[in-house]
C-alpha cells in the first residue's frame, strides 16, 4: 500500500524536475538565438565549419568575429555542440560583465581544473571566493613583491648566461622553452620556496608534470565526450591525468609538511616589517602558513589549492608573455633601438641587479610589454556563467547562459586601436590611452575578478626582458604569423617554437 503511494509521488517529482530543467534549457536557447551569429547545425553546432588544425581553427574564429564586429559592435552567438554560447568582444559589452560584482561565477569548463586546483581563487565562487580574495590580496602587496626581486634577478641571470653561448654565432635558437624553464624556476621559488632547477634539469619530474597536466586539461576541454568524470577516468588520458595529479599534489603536500616543521618565516603581525627592513625572502607558501597558524579554518588543503593555483596561473602565462614580447621587439629594430637607449640611460654599462626603482623608470619597456599583451594576450578568453538575467544590445541574456569574454578579439578592435596589427608601444602613452574605453585593454581581465597576480607578472616580465636586452640585440627569424599563435588555455606557439638570433650589444 505504501509502495503504491510512494511510486506516483517519485514519478511526479521526477516529471516536475525534468519539465523544469527542459523549460530552463529551452528559455536559454530561445533567448540566445535572438543574437546574430553564423549558421549552426543540430547537435554539432558551429563545429562543422572549423578545421581541426589549431592555428587554422584560431584564424577561422577571428575571421568570424571580424565579420560580425561591424554588424553587432562585438557580440555574437555561437553553438558549442548543442549548447548556445554568447561571445563578447566589444568594450561596452565586456564592461557590463567584468565591472559587475554579481557576475563573478566562472564558466563550467573551469570545473575540469578542479581536480588539480580544487576550489581555490581561480575556480571558486560565491562567499568562498570573496573571502579568499580578501584574505589573499595582502600577499601581493608591493612590499611583499619586493622580496621576490632577488629571485627574478637570479633566475633571469641564469637565463642570460645560457643565452650567451648563442651570441654572434648566426645560430637560430628557440627562445620559448628557455624562457619557460626560467619562469618555472621563478614560480617554484616564489610560490613554494623551492627551486626545481628547471633551467638546468628539464627532465625534473615536477617540471614535466606541470606541462603535461596543462596539455591533458586542454585536450579534455576540446572533447565534450570526456567531460563526465566517470567516462574520463576510464580512458587512458584519464588514468594519465590521475598519475600526473598525484605527482603534483605529492610535491606540494611534502613541501607544506617540510615548511611546517621549520620555524615560522613570517607572521601576520610582523610581515610588513620583516619584508621592509630585512628584505628577507619569503615564499608565497610561508605567507599562507602564517594565515593557517592564525586561523585554523584556513586548512592545509586550502593552502595546497592556492599554491597549485599560483603555479598554474603564473607559469605558462608569463612565459608566453615574455617570449611574444621578445619576438615583437626582434621584429622592430627601431623599437629595439629605443629600448636599448632607455636601458643604457638607467643602467649604463653596469651589470648590477635590477631594482624596483629601475622598473619604475623603464616607461618605454612598460609600453612595449603592454602593446605585446594587446596583440598577443597570454589568456585569450575567460568564461562566465550568469547568476541573473541581463540585457545586452537590447536583448535579454538569460540566467545560467554561457558567456565567453574574448580578450584577443577585444584587443583587435580598430575603433579602439587603429591599424590593430601594427606593433606600436606609443599607443600606451598616457595621452593616447586616456582616449580609449576603459575596458578596451584587459590582458589581466578587469573588475572584481581581475588577476590578483598582475603586478607580480608585470614585474617579472619587465625585469626578465631588461636583463636580456641589456646584454643582447635580438633579430626575430619568424613573424607572429610564422610562430602560429593559437588559443589553448593560453596563447602559445602551436609548434612550441619562437625562433630568434642573438648578438652581443655593441
Q: pLDDT tens digits, residue range 140-177?
A: 888 888 889 999 999 999 999 999 999 988 889 999 99
Weakest mean pLDDT among 2-11, 78-87, 150-159, 360-369: 2-11
Q: Which residue has the higher pLDDT, 151 or 196?
A: 151
Q: Which residue has the higher pLDDT, 143 or 469?
A: 469
What is the torsional sign of CA 163, 168, 169, 172? Answer: positive
What is the distance between the alpha carbons of residues 96 and 388, in angstroms, rounded to a whole number? 13
451 is in an annotated binding site: yes
* Assigned domain for 88 exists: no
- Note the pLDDT of residue 497: 92
> Does pLDDT of 109 surpass 70?
yes
Are 272 and 146 within 8 A, CB to CB? no
* Assigned domain for 347 exists: yes
* Assigned domain for 28 exists: no
What is the distance between the alpha carbons of residues 209 and 224, in angstroms, rounded to a whole number? 24
> Does pLDDT of 487 surpass 70?
no
Give how far the C-alpha of residue 314 lies from the chain's centroid of Cα atoms, to the nearest Å: 7
* Assigned domain for 329 exists: yes
> Does pLDDT of 494 surpass 90?
no
**404: enclosing H helix or E strand:** strand 402-406
pLDDT in tens, 416-467: 999 999 999 999 999 999 999 999 999 999 999 999 999 999 999 999 999 9
* Assigned domain for 433 exists: no
Q: Which residue has the higher pLDDT, 186 or 33?
A: 186
Query: In sequence order, what are the beta bridge partners of 476?
Result: 500
Q: Which residue has the higher pLDDT, 274 or 458?
A: 458
What is the distance between the alpha carbons of residues 487 and 218, in angstroms, rounded to a whole number? 10
- Whole domain around residue 261: which residue ranges? 105-373+451-504
pLDDT tier, 261 (very low <50, low <70, confident <90, very high otherwise): confident
* Assigned domain for 406 exists: no
Q: Note the pTM of the prediction, 2 decimals.
A: 0.89
Mean pLDDT is highest, among 108-112, 217-221, 251-255, 362-366, for: 362-366
End-to-end CA distance of the chain: 95
Instruction: For the chain, give the percent of residues with pLDDT over 90.
Output: 49
- 3-state SS string for 134-187: HHHHHHHCHHHHHHHHHHHHHHHHHHHHHHHCCCCCCCCEEHHHHHHHHHHHHH
Mean residue pLDDT of the chain comes to 87
- Note the pLDDT of residue 5: 57
Are 385 and 401 within 8 A, CB to CB? yes
Weakest mean pLDDT among 104-118, 255-269, 296-310: 255-269
* Assigned domain for 124 exists: yes
- Note the pLDDT of residue 296: 86
Total structural domains within the chain: 1
> Does pLDDT of 395 surpass 80?
yes
**Class of residue 261 by CB neighbours under 10 A (exposed 0-12, middle 13-18, buried 19+):** exposed
What is the distance between the alpha carbons of residues 375 and 365, in angstroms, rounded to a whole number? 15
Query: Quick one: average pLDDT of 299-304?
Result: 91
Q: Which residue has the higher pLDDT, 46 or 403?
A: 403
* Assigned domain for 72 exists: no
CATH number of the domain residue 359 falls in: 1.10.630.10
Are 464 and 156 within 8 A, CB to CB? yes
Amino acid at each position: 500500500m505504501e509502495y503504491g503511494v510512494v511510486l506516483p509521488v517519485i514519478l511526479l517529482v521526477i516529471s516536475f524536475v525534468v519539465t523544469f530543467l527542459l523549460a530552463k534549457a529551452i528559455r536559454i536557447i530561445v533567448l540566445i538565438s535572438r543574437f546574430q551569429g553564423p549558421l549552426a547545425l543540430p547537435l554539432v553546432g558551429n563545429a562543422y565549419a572549423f578545421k581541426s588544425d589549431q592555428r587554422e581553427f584560431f584564424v577561422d574564429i577571428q575571421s568570424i568575429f571580424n565579420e560580425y564586429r561591424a554588424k553587432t559592435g562585438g557580440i555574437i552567438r555561437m553553438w558549442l555542440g548543442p549548447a548556445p554560447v554568447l561571445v563578447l568582444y566589444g568594450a561596452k559589452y565586456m564592461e557590463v560583465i567584468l565591472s559587475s560584482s554579481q557576475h563573478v561565477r566562472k564558466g563550467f569548463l573551469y570545473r575540469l581544473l578542479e581536480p588539480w586546483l580544487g576550489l581555490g581563487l581561480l575556480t571558486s565562487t560565491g562567499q568562498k571566493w570573496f573571502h579568499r580574495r580578501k584574505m589573499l590580496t595582502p600577499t601581493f602587496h608591493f612590499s611583499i613583491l619586493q622580496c621576490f626581486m632577488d629571485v627574478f634577478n637570479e633566475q633571469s641571470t641564469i637565463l642570460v648566461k645560457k643565452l650567451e653561448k648563442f651570441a654572434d654565432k648566426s645560430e637560430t635558437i628557440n627562445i620559448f622553452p628557455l624562457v619557460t624553464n626560467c619562469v618555472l624556476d621563478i614560480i617554484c621559488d616564489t610560490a613554494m620556496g623551492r627551486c626545481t632547477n628547471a633551467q638546468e634539469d628539464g627532465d625534473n619530474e615536477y617540471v614535466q608534470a606541470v606541462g603535461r597536466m596543462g596539455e591533458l586539461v586542454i585536450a579534455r576541454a576540446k572533447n565534450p565526450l570526456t567531460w563526465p568524470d566517470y567516462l574520463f577516468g576510464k580512458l587512458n588520458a584519464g588514468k594519465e591525468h590521475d598519475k600526473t595529479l598525484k605527482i603534483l599534489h605529492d610535491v606540494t603536500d611534502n613541501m607544506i609538511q617540510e615548511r611546517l616543521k621549520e620555524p615560522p618565516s613570517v607572521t601576520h603581525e610582523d610581515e610588513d616589517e620583516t619584508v621592509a627592513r630585512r628584505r628577507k625572502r619569503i615564499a608565497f607558501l610561508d605567507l599562507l602558513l602564517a594565515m593557517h597558524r592564525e586561523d585554523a579554518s584556513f586548512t592545509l588543503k586550502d593552502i595546497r589549492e592556492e599554491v597549485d593555483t599560483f603555479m598554474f596561473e603564473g607559469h605558462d602565462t608569463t612565459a608566453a608573455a615574455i617570449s611574444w614580447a621578445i619576438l615583437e621587439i626582434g621584429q622592430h629594430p627601431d623599437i629595439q633601438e629605443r629600448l636599448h637607449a632607455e636601458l643604457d640611460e638607467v643602467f649604463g654599462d653596469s651589470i648590477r641587479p635590477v631594482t624596483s626603482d629601475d622598473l619604475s623608470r623603464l616607461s618605454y619597456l612598460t609600453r612595449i610589454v603592454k602593446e605585446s599583451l594587446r596583440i598577443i594576450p597570454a589568456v585569450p578568453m575567460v568564461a562566465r556563467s550568469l547568476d541573473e538575467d541581463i540585457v545586452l544590445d537590447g536583448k535579454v541574456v538569460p540566467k545560467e547562459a554561457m558567456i565567453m569574454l574574448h580578450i584577443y578579439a577585444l584587443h583587435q578592435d580598430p575603433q579602439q586601436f587603429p591599424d590593430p596589427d601594427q606593433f606600436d608601444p606609443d599607443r600606451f602613452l598616457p595621452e593616447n590611452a586616456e582616449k580609449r574605453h576603459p575596458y578596451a585593454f584587459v590582458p589581466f581581465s578587469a573588475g572584481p575578478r581581475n588577476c590578483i597576480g598582475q603586478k607580480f607578472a608585470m614585474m617579472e616580465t619587465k625585469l626578465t626582458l631588461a636583463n636580456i636586452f641589456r646584454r643582447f640585440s635580438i633579430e626575430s627569424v619568424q613573424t607572429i604569423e610564422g610562430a602560429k599563435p593559437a588559443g589553448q588555455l593560453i596563447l602559445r606557439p602551436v609548434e612550441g617554437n619562437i625562433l630568434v638570433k642573438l648578438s652581443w650589444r655593441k
